Amino acid sequence: MRAVIQRVSRASVEVDGKPVSEIEAGLLVLLGVETDDGPEDLEYLVQKTLNLRIFEDLEGKFNRSLLDAGGEILVVSQFTLYGDCRKGRRPSFTRAAPPEIAEPAYERFAARAREMGVTARTGVFGAMMDVSLVNRGPVTMLLDSKKEF
């Protein structure tokens, strides 16, 4: 499982020009699910995301997590995080999980965040979405449950 995590002042998702979800200060999480991801991958990524200390303390140092800061989270499914661009000019997505595997994992990620006390909103799985954000910092982190990077 992979995630691009962006610390935001606000973020939103629209589908067909209609608002679907929005958050204020917190994290936008672009989430990709791999074919062989299991419950341990999901739990690792949820814990890492919510506990990652990328919010400033009173001294301006990255010492606070989303849980500490009390921010919200917007989770957007993005299978293209498993796009392999090493050969040719068209990415291969063979490592990306099919929808019947990816959608429940995506929904479970948001549910686990809620269970941990975070306001979690989602995009629309499989839809063509317009994602807007104001990246605060900017701060952008890459996470991979298999620690490939």
Domain assignment present for residue 149? The answer is: no
Full-model pTM: 0.96
Answer whether the bond into residue 104 is a cis peptide, omega within 30°. no
Residue 81, in any domain of the structure: yes
What's the CA gap between 22 and 106, in Å, rounded?
17
Q: What is the DSSP string of 108-127?
A: HHHHHHHHTT--EEE--TTS
The CATH number linked to 35 is 3.50.80.10
Q: Which domain holds residue 125?
A: 2-144
Catalytic residue among 6, 49, 78, 122: 78
Q: Return per-residue pLDDT of the chain as tens, 149 residues.
A: 999 999 999 999 999 999 999 999 999 999 999 999 999 999 999 999 999 999 999 999 999 999 999 999 999 999 999 999 999 999 999 999 999 999 999 999 999 999 999 999 999 999 999 999 999 999 999 999 999 98
The catalytic residue among 6, 49, 55, 79 is 79
Query: Would you call 122 a catalytic residue per the annotation?
Result: no
Instruction: List, in order, residues 6 or more apart from 21 with CB less than 8 Å away.
Output: 12, 13, 74, 121, 122, 123
Task: Given the residues 35, 47, 80, 140, select the one marked as catalytic.
Answer: 80
Catalytic, 79? Answer: yes
109 is catalytic: no
Domain count, the chain: 1
